[in-house]
Amino acid sequence: MNEKIPFLEHVAYQMRRWSIRMTSKAGSGHVSSSLSAADIIAALFFDVMHFDPDQFENPNNDRFILSKGHAVPILYAAWHELGKLTDQEVLTYRSFDSVLEGHPTLRFPYAEAATGSLGIGLSIGVGEALAAKQAKRDYKTFVLMGDSEVSEGSIWEAAQLATYYKLNNIIGIIDCNRLGQSTPTMEALEGDGPERFKKMFDAFGWQSEIVDGHDMQSLVTVLEKARTKADRPVMIIARTKKGYGVALMEDKEGFHGKALKDDQEKQALEQLRERFADAASYSDSYQWKSQEPAKEAASKKQVVQMPLPAYKKGEEIPTRKAYGQSLVALGGVCEQVVSLDGEVKNSTYAELFEKAYPDRFYQCFIAEQNMIGMGIGFDRRGFISFISTFASFFSRAHDQLRMAAIGQASLRLAGSHAGVSIGQDGPSQMGLEDIAMMRGLPESIVLYPCDAVSTYKLVNEMANHHESISYLRTTRMATPVIYDPNESFPVGGCKVLKQSSSDQVLVIGAGVTLFEALKAHEELAKEGTSIAVIDLYSIKPLDVQTIISVARACKNRIITVEDHYPAGGIGEAVAAAVSTENIEVYRLAVTHLPRSGQPEELLADAGINAEAIIKRVKQF
């Protein structure tokens, strides 16, 4: 037997102890799910993985993603064994002042990703593995999943993509402990879970292998082989037992997410000591040293400055096409930029980037959840990912976006085909809730350009925004260029396009409705009525000061017009922002389920065209 095996067993024993102690101290937490994973984690962190614990962001480090985020005690225990957390610190688990949260977040400096909604980690891993290929680096990406989460479709999206991209540098591990939160897994109920999983992953093109997840020598052997000799993605299916090592809960239902109370804790620690007597009394001199890559700092993201756009005023061009063109311009000045698209590249115009930089374009096919997960992975490994699909289809990945926000990922999203103005394809293809969804992501930025110049400038802004998710909403139909190439579009600003001393009301439009507002302005002017018009290209943050000051000069009246449902849209954002300012806000939005038709018919039917604005103005 290799002398390292007793050492690894000792580490696993220690991590089990600390998992019990920290959960009992916290009074809650997922101890049973941690115990099943302890041996796997010991093998990975103290033998198989090549990484430098002192330089977590070293770009050559192997990466580890804890997809089964509830088992985070075992991750904290590992970093405790690595010497990065004191005894005292590890016992702050789940307390308000601690960074050791109930599920991993980026507040913990050694977390690769925020997890806790299940089935997301493998997609993040696919992104990190692709980033390795893109950066021509040799690091490997390990993803630890639970067996319950394999029911999530996103796992199978990731599995298909990993095979398609021939990723021989990603190793998934399923901690197959048979028991979910409230029931055994589907596969366990149907027969032999591991065997079923093996068949499934093999059929998806992975190289999969079943291993005893509590036999250290077997684990080390199979993981080491996976790390060094794979010609495709590898899935290690580890037979484990939930609560392994503590008789009172081992392989038993009813212990998911349950911390042990005082007397139980004592009993558990005793059972553990008896079960792993050798590991508990381990005192060998095996000197563990991580297999570290050479020191290298992660590269910083540079401030990117795109050349001036070449659009001419009056030129008609859809903002979605301008997005594609802007991305090409950006790609020319920044090599970190990659483009991900969900099989609609000819609609979102991501295909322009693909043509210009084929080696930096990633076709993600119709699998939006995995695409967002991949984006998180690319972001973590230093790339600037722009991710495009129809605005409506980002809803497919709402949970991934939510988790990306919790993980402080700086994803850049471009949603085309916003609103009823797309026309004949009908409501299933219309983004009508995207503004609300994107505004709801913590710290997010929501942008909505009306023309090609503002699109171009906002893409540049997004490239330089690394703190959170930014979203660009684009329009299917062509709209005329109204801005000068020199105009700047700071995030959080707006453009006051029409203003006079006799304005009756401030009309706020964005995207396609901005032009309806301008049309209304023109028509009303003929009749001697003047209105102010703002282009709200930045919906979040909102330029509240400018809105209020213009509204003040407009009899304290605002009309908002948006190609979006009312809930969480522009109207509500504005109404809420001025809700203590004694300003009236009238909101025009899509209040009923739309249908197929011509764009003009649908804008009229929704009551968000120039005519509807004029009608509303005349009611004053």
Give which of 470, 514, 509 is closest to 492, Cα–Cα: 470
Q: Hey, which bits of 522-617 come out as E strands? A: 530-535, 538-540, 557-561, 584-588
Position 566 contacts its own copies (CB under 8 A): yes
Nearer of residues 364 and 463 to its own copies, judged by Cβ:
364
For residue 70, give the 3-state DSSP assignment: helix
Q: Give yes or no: 368 in active site.
A: yes
Q: Hey, which bits of 268-367 come out as E strands? A: 316-318, 337-341, 361-363
Nearer of residues 507 and 585 to its own copies, judged by Cβ:
585
- The radius of gyration computed from the CA coordinates of the chain, to the nearest angstrom, equals 27
Q: CB under 8 A: which stretch of 177-185, 220-228, 291-299, 329-337 binds its own copies? A: 177-185
Give which of 357, 305, 301 is closest to 328, Cα–Cα: 357
Least gap, CB of 573 to its own copies (angstroms) = 7
Q: What tokens appear for 116 in the block?
A: 């806790």
Question: Which residue of 96, 231, 297, 300 would you call a contact of its own copies, by CB under 8 A?
Answer: 96
- The DSSP letter of residue 110 is T
- The DSSP letter of residue 71 is G
DSSP H/E element including 35: helix 31-35
Least gap, CB of 114 to its own copies (angstroms) = 7
What lies within 8 Å, CB to CB, of 300 at 6+ separation is: none
- The DSSP letter of residue 179 is B
Residue type for position 33: S
Least gap, CB of 215 to its own copies (angstroms) = 26
Nearer of residues 372 and 524 to its own copies, judged by Cβ:
372
522, with CB counted inside 10 A (0-12, 13-18, 19+), is exposed
For residue 244, give the 3-state DSSP assignment: coil
Position 255 contacts its own copies (CB under 8 A): no
Q: What tokens appear for 51 in the block?
A: 């990484």
First to last CA, the chain: 88
Return the residues of window 267-306 that contact its own copies according to CB under 8 A: none
Position 439 contacts its own copies (CB under 8 A): yes
Position 164 contacts its own copies (CB under 8 A): yes
Nearer of residues 272 and 405 to its own copies, judged by Cβ:
405
Question: Which residue of 11, 48, 114, 507 would you call a contact of its own copies, by CB under 8 A?
Answer: 114
Nearer of residues 317 and 432 to its own copies, judged by Cβ:
432
Question: Which residue of 480, 541, 568, 607 would you call a contact of its own copies, by CB under 8 A?
Answer: 568
Position 587 contacts its own copies (CB under 8 A): yes
DSSP H/E element including 3: none
For residue 69, give the 3-state DSSP assignment: helix
Which residues on adjacent β-strands are paired with residue 457? none
Nearer of residues 251 and 399 to its own copies, judged by Cβ:
399
Least gap, CB of 395 to its own copies (angstroms) = 4
| Dihedral in degrees, nearest 10, Cα atoms 397, 298, 73, 3 | 130
Q: CB under 8 A: which stretch of 14-22, 135-143, 150-158, 320-328 binds its own copies? A: 150-158
Position 221 contacts its own copies (CB under 8 A): no
Position 366 contacts its own copies (CB under 8 A): yes
Position 163 contacts its own copies (CB under 8 A): yes
The pattern of x and - marking residues 397 through 416 that bind its own copies according to CB under 8 A reads -xx--xx-xx----------
Q: What are residue 587's phi and psi, to 5 degrees?
A: -115, 125
Position 615 contacts its own copies (CB under 8 A): no
The pattern of x and - marking residues 22 through 61 that bind its own copies according to CB under 8 A reads ----xxxx--------------------------------
Least gap, CB of 159 to its own copies (angstroms) = 9
Q: What tokens appear for 556 in the block?
A: 């304290």
Q: 538-540 and 557-561 as β-strands: parallel, antiparallel, unpaired?
A: unpaired
Q: CB under 8 A: which stretch of 183-191, 216-224, 231-239, 488-496 binds its own copies? A: 183-191
Helices (H), 527-567: 544-552
Contact 540, 534 (CB under 8 A): no
Q: CB under 8 A: which stretch of 135-143, 171-179, 267-275, 337-345 binds its own copies? A: 337-345
Position 601 contacts its own copies (CB under 8 A): yes
Position 363 contacts its own copies (CB under 8 A): yes
Nearer of residues 152 and 461 to its own copies, judged by Cβ:
152
Least gap, CB of 80 to its own copies (angstroms) = 18
Question: Which residue of 168, 177, 185, 454 would you call a contact of its own copies, by CB under 8 A?
Answer: 185
7/375 Cα distance (integer angstroms):
37
- Given 81, 152, 250, 368, which residue is catalytic? 368
Nearer of residues 4 and 94 to its own copies, judged by Cβ:
94
The vertex-235 CA angle with 232 and 236, nearest 5°, equals: 135
Catalytic residues: 368
